[in-house]
Amino acid sequence: MAVAAVLAALVHHAHDPGILCPLRRFTGVPCPLCGGTTVFMELGAAHPVRAVLANPFALAGAIGLATAPLGIGRRWWTIEPRARTALLGVVLGLSWLWQLARFGLLQW
């Protein structure tokens, strides 16, 4: 994952593809997963704080996926399916609120 992040940052530095999220491109409203690509670009460019600010939920999910094979993933599957679904729904909702605030569409 680290090598992919560095390579993605190098490609992005040489050629900025612009907005990758179709929802944001056509409506101006970010989706809950917006910032996911930016997380890896910023990590690859050695900017961890910017990566966290782009989407802390995507970063936590990527860390969870990367560490799941080490045995941590077994704990996820012990959670009742309804509870897992509810947890994912809450995390996506919080991620969307984060993105709306990040892009100035949500005023506190």
Q: What is the pLDDT of residue 107?
A: 75
Q: What is the pLDDT of residue 16?
A: 60
Q: What is the pLDDT of residue 66?
A: 87
Domain boundaries, the chain: 2-102
* Per-run averaged pLDDT (10 residues), the chain, 108 residues: 71 61 83 85 86 93 89 89 96 93 84
Q: What is the pLDDT of residue 6?
A: 72
Query: DSSP alpha helices (H): ranges in the chain?
Result: 2-14, 22-27, 36-44, 48-54, 56-67, 72-78, 81-102
Burial of residue 3 (number of CB atoms within 10 Å: 0-12, 13-18, 19+): exposed
Structure tokens at 36: 């996911």
